Structure 1
């Protein structure tokens, strides 16, 4: 069955526009609830959210859906996506739900689902829920079988405790002055608190959510604010999370960006030195820089590439027995600690490296020189520009020019109407020419 609702990371769209309405949210609750009503025990679902205005509306609709089919609901309020995954597993819930559109602006929202093991749902589970959403009437619970809803007040503390436990018990951050940018999102309370509790001096920005300012000129996709604050405060390092805090981008003491590729390189070397890196490899996507692949190869490690999307990284990790993976965009998956990307845990591991070595971030976090890489997005309104003959010809020509010295990755976004054109190689001029020629062809095809 063709997917109508689920994309590469759950269901996402403009709140109260198109498909993403309270009616759909309630239907998702009913369908997911019915799908996970397995066994004779009392069933429960954990529901968390980020800080965008429409979260209240979506939360209420989901509660109605789940309780109407007989599931008890536990509400956490604003909490990072990985915290919901953790609580789903630890509270023996049948399903976990995160209401968030991640790094998107506040008008958007989304619904992410986790299974009882804390991992994102398989394609098979999502397809089964899709079918139930689109089928007719679902059986509703009757009488005392209707679910109850309650809010727990200690969810933030539980997550903070879990995050701190990933750092050695004797390690402190007293020597570190850290700018923490929470994107006015889900981690606005937990991330600064976790670092402060380990002794770090914390300068927090992006911690005043009002429902409308999530990811607005702050966070991992808008680094100007954290860079300026690091330089202004003379901080040792800056960390920038996104709206639901499942990704991390770092800024060193000089104000230079440290992306997910460099962070993965750091973690790989630390884990290799400790003998904890499984499979002698790191899993990432086709977007990771060729420089990372070459660096790992020189260290006797391999880079396993997947399609774009942290769910595909996670699938390859589980299938191949790897415990470290991530994306250039900042998703860091460390299966020894979490079942999904966790920006706060990744930040704690990065800070542990700084605290234990005593070296500046600019030295610790820049392990390789990336090759020139250029990414451009072309917006389109309808159709399939990538099937246009002129676009195909431009791609073939660019591949020929980059052969042997670089790579080309062309794909349609899984969450937005955009064609993403990325090229990288040893010669910057050739990379720029390849991207320009393909984007021009796509723009013409897209009208």
Structure 2
């Protein structure tokens, strides 16, 4: 817990500084050296800020939701191995809190349990935008958990165990990120969608849902959500390091330095790898823009999940061949991964055909809008964006700008108008006197 809390403090500061450099601005640099005391100011502000309660909210669930999010985020690191067997205060112990044969299934279970904090937080407020954000987040997390789970299953097959320490031991000769690069790439995309980071931060889209499910939270209740979000970033980074990047083992240094993978040094390699994955997520936030929600869901359901299933079947066939022949299949996996990666790239860049929804009106005999013809967006009773080839009518401002200007009167006309106005005034005055 101490490691995670301190890591979150450093991550917030590092993200601000890195994003500042990427966007050619300084970032926090005023409050103390390098802006480090700014983090203390932010923490004090969250603690001392007014903690309001909604009158119409479900009080117990309203308070319980952020606690669930923070509580579940702290539980993942219990099965993450930091290093090998070491001597600590006279006792020989591995640098891991606990491990058991289905440790990765425990990680997936806790990840699924953490979604309840988001869903209940949005529902308990009885407010519109938090509910929309919670629904979005539930659909997003469930969708990308499927592709993430399928990518992890291939690691189970290749390692022959679900124990985290066993998976690290299986990567002594070669990291699974190299031998099974399709699984690694699918996991990286899925983990970014799992923790709601750009370009996949749809549940907290400021321009649409105003911070999503956290709109009606303040002070420490908001801080629990904020803390849970950053701890989840470290969670997915640690799982990625353990499953695909060799865990605490140093593949390069271990080839010429016998003590690289013994003692306390492996803990340093593990932390460096975790921070490399964290830097990647910060890099994507400073580089990519938010994508559209339907495109995001299409990426998960129509690309990642089918590709994960096909790759899982191929790895299962290779492992069955290994069990039958009794030899090593890492070379075969490398060749198969390279071929499959090329197929993934081709499938991703190929242009898609016309959607069935666009062809439906023609099949049903309905009228089709002629390209360039003005189209009524409110014909169905609610606003609908135009399809390709349809043209919206000009706005009232554009119509006024297109109207011919009023004629300009010359000096003689001005005199005639002034004389007529004077006659009208005199006539009105005489009528009043009578």
TM-score bucket of the superposed structures, by smaller chain? under 0.3
More helix by share: 2
Q: Normalization by structure 1: what TM-score?
A: 0.23
More strand by share: 1
Q: Normalization by structure 2: what TM-score?
A: 0.24
Computing the radius of gyration from Cα coordinates, the structure with the larger value is 2
